[in-house]
Structure 1
Amino acid sequence: MQVQNEVKPIDTINVTPMLDLAYVLLVVFILMTTASVQGVSITMPKPSNKPSTEKHDLKIVQVMEGGGVLINGVGVTLDELEAQLLQAKSRDAQMSVAIKGDARTQYASVVAVIDLCNKLQVNMGLVTARIGT
């Protein structure tokens, strides 16, 4: 039996691990850039320990499945909604709007109402429901 001690020189470099690392870094970069998308800025009210005795006007705005908008149960367009909110704000500067979106509606319709309330500088809140109720 003859033992060969002849070692062949390596003439190629295995780049597979380097490519794997490059693909992982690419995926991480894509995920991190899409995660930093800007959203809607909403100013949340600050809680206080004292009970409020003041009564302010509350308007309930519903966004229906097809994108229609109701204010206190009456159908309106966005222009009519803006006019009614401006009129209500002139009567009571501390009035609030509760926005309730249908689960099947397009989110853009709800965002349009939120943008309108931000433009008018009206206090607003989003109405949510528990799952199963």
Structure 2
Amino acid sequence: MQVQGKKPYNEINITPLVDLTFVLLIIFILLTTAAVQGIKVDLPSASSAQTLNEPKSRVIAVSNDGTLSIDAVPVSLSELEAELRSSMATTPDLAIVLRGDRTVQYDRIMQVLDLCSKVGVPSLGMASTRPPGGGA
């Protein structure tokens, strides 16, 4: 018995596929821009801060609650050590920029500094903000 009015589909409906593609594109754009901005850290100011313009540098941020991140990726202290060791293996003249929030416990900054010393980081700088109207 044949059902009247029903005919087989000759083409595929791609509207749901296009919708899915646009949603994935929007999610990708949002996640990419969020990763570029990094972690918000309230830096202390320094009167004679120098600019570090190293092309081979990594940024370690310590937020006000003590959480660590390297290049805006949250890590634990042991993960940070492993990441620094692998970076040092590929780039021996690696420069590290430490961005510590002004309200973070001093002990947490010292843990990161000790870790950088233990790994053998050749160049370490601490980020700060310049006071208004100060320095070149």
C-alpha distance in structure 1 between counterparts of 2:129 and 2:104, whole Å: 15
C-alpha distance in structure 1 between counterparts of 2:91 and 2:55, whole Å: 7
Structure 1 gaps, min length 5: 1-51
Q: Structure 2 length normalisation: TM-score?
A: 0.55
Map Cα deviations across residues 104-126 of structure 1 (whole Å, 9 max, x no partner): 11111111101100111102111
Asked if the contact 1:56/1:92 (under 8 Å) is kept, the reply is no
Query: Greater CA radius of gyration, 1 or 2?
Result: 1
Q: 2:111 corresponds to which residue?
A: 112
Q: 1:90 corresponds to which residue?
A: 89
- Within 5 A, what are the aligned runs for 1:38-117? 57-117=56-116
Structure 2 gaps, min length 5: 1-52
Q: Which amino acid in structure 2 is aligned with residue 130 of structure 1?
A: R
Question: How far apart are residue 132 of structure 1 and its match?
Answer: 5.0
Q: 1:125 corresponds to which residue?
A: 125
C-alpha distance in structure 1 between counterparts of 2:130 and 2:56, whole Å: 25
Identity %: 29
**Total equivalences in the alignment:** 80
State the superposition RMSD in angstroms. Answer: 2.0
